[in-house]
Structure 1
Amino acid sequence: MPGPFVVPVHGDIELPKEVDCIVIGGGIVGVSTALELAESGLRVALCEKGGIGQEQSSRNWGWVRISRRDPREIPLMAEALRLWTSLSARTGRDTGYARAGIIFTCANDKQYEQYKSWRRHLEGYQLESQMIGATQLRDLLPGSNLDAKGALYTPADGRAEPQKAAPAIAEAARERGASILTECAVRGVETTNGAVSGVVTERGFIACNAVVLAGGAWSNLFCGTLSLDLPQLKAMNTVFRTTPVENGPEQAVWGKNFSIRKRQDGGYTIASTNNSAVDIVPSSFRYALDFLPAWKTEWRSLSFRLGSRFVEEARMPSRWAMDEASPFEYCRVLDPKPSNKISQCALLDARKAFPVLDKAMIAQRWAGYIDVTPDALPVISAVDAIPGFYVATGFSGHGFGLGPAAGKLMADIVTGRSPIVDPTNFRWSRFSDGTKVAPVSGF
């Protein structure tokens, strides 16, 4: 069975002739933006080339965390934590959210001090987070065999179900008046006098004066059709779920070589913490210098590989006519092949740390492409070169937790109202205004 099972969302049959804003992309950021805009009274259409939440929004770990965030993301994530607590009630559907806490173990004294130093970024947020020693860690996780000096423990963090969240938000947006159009790829944006005036979809034209691109790993390709250069690459992460386990940890745990998160079905979602695959593709050379600071920081956890993906992307057209099928119609869902080796290694390490998992079996594996920017920060911004065009992408593996707040911030920017947080760090122009674009290291 390819990919995880996602709660199905049936798209609307009728294509609206005109709306105020079109959201491109049905991941958690796109649907959250659509919900916020619809609740603001705007006429909204969300266009998704495949199904709602079928790509990375359903393939991630399901962590809803503020702990170990890039400090520049903390204000937005603090808002996200607030929004997640009421999201199931707001949508009238189960998102699987639970405030269960997250534990980041420390392998040595140096890492312990790094995490301890990071905690200062939470000052003033009134969010429970603390450093605990090895003895406290064992008391918190009875029966565990974690080899750690201590841990950063944040009870304010939580978990949710990636296969449920985006569909729940999409259905809520539809109930507020938004059109949800699945298997409806947007081929391009039309402009009049340089400003957005509509989009051409595979099913026809929709007039609008605002477009939000929330296209995840596809955003770079789409931006290119508008002569916009978005520095973005992809990293692939393998994830698997286990059969149900009794008496396992309630908290999500980041171990030395694995991560673990309890699921609603009683099993666990597990992944490797130090092995993401990066396919070498033509864009790798184009953006090599942009990403050099990030590669230097993260090289130990990345496996660069040259394979069929290079040829696939080399053959992919970068421009096409509006009356021709686009690449988005030839690939409805990015569904990369997961690594059995990585899965088995992560399961073995998880079993060593938690003997209760000895009888757990791998029920399903999948992989997903993470859309990455050079500074590992998202773009949540207007694009000044094209009035009416906005971008919410590049979440670099942090999008699921940030999703509801990212959607709210994007809606604030579109409507011109006071933003929930200062969006300066997420501006589009940081790639060209002389700003040093690099990830924050040391945590």
Structure 2
Amino acid sequence: MAPVQTPVLTSRDAPEKTSVVVIGGGIVGLSAALVLAERGIPVTVLEKGRIGAEQSSRNLGWVRKMGRSAPDVPLAQAADRLWAAMPARLGAEVGYRQAGIMYLARTEAEMAMHADWLKSVADLSLDSRLLRPADIDALVPGGRGQWAGGIVTPSDGRAEPTLASAAIAAAAIAKGAVIVENCAVRTLSRAAGRVCGVVTERGEIACEQVLLACGLWSRRFLGNLGISLPTLPLVCSVFRTAPMEGPTEIAVGGPDFSFRKHRDGGFIITQRGALGAPLMLDHLLIGMRYLPMLRGQRKLLRIGLGREALTDLALARRWRAGAISPFERLRTMDPPTRPDLNAEALANLRAAWPAFATARIVEAWAGMMDITPDSQPVIGPVETVPGLMLATGFSGHGFGTGPAAGQLAADLLCGTAPIVDPAPYRLERL
């Protein structure tokens, strides 16, 4: 189960018409809705289950620029500014802290990768810097790991997934947005090829534009329209400890563990070196496209055949507007946790920092991510369907850039100057 979020009072009923319909109540869709509402544009968010119930509440909460490809860094920089302004903008706390993020390297080869990345972003005014082992000991004391070095970005930070989506949703509602939960969108309505509305399980809503921001469900939704979006599912298992004394406020990513401080004094921990890879039909259909990404990463994927495969096969890939859609049959993707991966993460972390020897797990969960072949999201229009915009495929790192990604989508919907150059995120690149 996902961590418990702050509750939000949403609407029971959807309007008969609006200007923009946002499909998906995760952090990106909600951020876009907030921007549109602030600009006085009628917007309705339709969520098949509960807002933020999937990856938006299940992620690690990292807000980072470090490690992103150079074309993706400007979006992360814009997100930093938006995260910092959130309490004043929303009138609510989202747990944002600019405490820094550090990556560790066990080998000189790993250090070379960090150095290469630093060179690739040299003209982007980041505060990232390489670390010697002594620097790591000073910043994160009490360790016993044998590190070749590392890299740190002091301006990176964290926010709380259980607070953020709910706070953004509440602010959007206060500014005039309508958010309806448990209302799945089955398909689009079109006139002369252009979007003119959406067909939901409760009936049709007329609109001028649609923003599809439903994460791992986007591939299935678009596939029913005859549009290809290559994304594959991977599962990250996570756990939270009880409050404890820890070595640092910096979020730390080692080769086979990561940890960051939680607002209650505990830590959010995962096995950074392994992800669950439940085999599904899409792995057979488009898996070959991912081979370049996986070179040298054979240990990253823990491949298995579990209930996820059976669930996936049971969900339709084609359906009519009048038929029950897959989004009604499975309203929340709730993959099982991998206790083996969580146990590995804690053992590896305890070996590196003995302070975690007394850590007690109080909560564990898993989230399913939608991964594109280049690990970059798609934010932009579908040229073959005028009026349809995408903001999806965030590949497991969309929470940190969520506020800026939502604003970029809103900018493109409005035809205003975009917060960053949208060219790196065009669907056509895939």
- Which bracket does the TM-score occupy, shorter chain normalised? over 0.9
Pairing 1:62-141 to 2, within 5 Å after superposition: 62-141=61-140
Partner Cα distance (2:126, 2:307) in 1? 45
Q: Which residue of 1 aligns with 2:36?
A: 37
Q: Which residue of 1 aligns with 2:190?
A: 191
Partner Cα distance (1:140, 1:311) in 2? 46
- Which sits farther off after the overlay, 262-271 or 181-190? 181-190
Where does structure 1 lack aligned partners over 5 or more consecutive residues?
432-443
Partner Cα distance (1:143, 1:357) in 2? 10
Q: Which residue of 1 aligns with 2:49?
A: 50
Q: Output the aligned Cα RMSD.
A: 1.3
Q: Which residue of 1 aligns with 2:400?
A: 401
Q: Which residue of 1 aligns with 2:179?
A: 180
Q: Which residue of 2 aligns with 1:323?
A: 322
Q: 1:394, CA displacement in angstroms?
A: 0.4
Q: Which residue of 1 aligns with 2:11?
A: 12
Q: 1:298, CA displacement in angstroms?
A: 3.2
Question: What secondary structure sits across from 1:421 in the alignment?
Answer: coil
Q: Does 1:364 align with 2:400?
A: no
Q: 1:225, CA displacement in angstroms?
A: 1.8
Q: Which residue of 2 aligns with 1:440?
A: none
Q: 1:126, CA displacement in angstroms?
A: 3.5
Partner Cα distance (1:174, 1:124) in 2? 39
Instruction: Give the structure-2-normalised TM-score.
Output: 0.97
Identity %: 42
Question: What secondary structure sits across from 1:211 in the alignment?
Answer: strand
Q: Which residue of 1 aligns with 2:249?
A: 250
Instruction: Output the amino acid matched with 1:23.
Output: V
The 8 Å contact of residues 246 and 356 in structure 2, kept in 1 or not, is answered as no
Partner Cα distance (1:125, 1:93) in 2? 31
The 8 Å contact of residues 142 and 247 in structure 2, kept in 1 or not, is answered as no
Q: Does 1:209 align with 2:217?
A: no
The 8 Å contact of residues 196 and 210 in structure 1, kept in 2 or not, is answered as yes
Question: What secondary structure sits across from 1:58 in the alignment?
Answer: helix
Q: 1:75, CA displacement in angstroms?
A: 1.3
Instruction: Output the amino acid matched with 1:357.
Output: F
The Cα offsets for residues 252-308 of structure 1, whole Å up to 9 and x where unpaired, read as: 001121000100000000000111011211111110222222232533211122233
Question: What secondary structure sits across from 2:162 in the alignment?
Answer: helix
Question: What secondary structure sits across from 1:400 in the alignment?
Answer: helix
Q: Which residue of 2 aligns with 1:60?
A: 59
Pairing 1:214-363 to 2, within 5 Å after superposition: 214-363=213-362
Q: 1:39, CA displacement in angstroms?
A: 1.5
Partner Cα distance (2:276, 2:64) in 1? 23
Instruction: Output the amino acid matched with 2:152.
Output: Y
The 8 Å contact of residues 10 and 182 in structure 1, kept in 2 or not, is answered as no
Q: 1:121, CA displacement in angstroms?
A: 3.8
Q: Which residue of 1 aligns with 2:376?
A: 377
Q: 1:124, CA displacement in angstroms?
A: 4.2
Partner Cα distance (1:124, 1:45) in 2? 40
Pairing 1:416-431 to 2, within 5 Å after superposition: 416-431=415-430
Partner Cα distance (2:265, 2:315) in 1? 41
The 8 Å contact of residues 8 and 52 in structure 1, kept in 2 or not, is answered as no
- Which sits farther off after the overlay, 211-220 or 139-148? 139-148
Q: 1:386, CA displacement in angstroms?
A: 0.4
Instruction: Output the amino acid matched with 1:82.
Output: R
The Cα offsets for residues 385-431 of structure 1, whole Å up to 9 and x where unpaired, read as: 00000111000011001101100111111111111211111101112
Instruction: Give the structure-1-normalised TM-score.
Output: 0.94
Q: Which residue of 2 aligns with 1:389?
A: 388
Q: Which residue of 2 aligns with 1:441?
A: none
The 8 Å contact of residues 308 and 335 in structure 2, kept in 1 or not, is answered as no
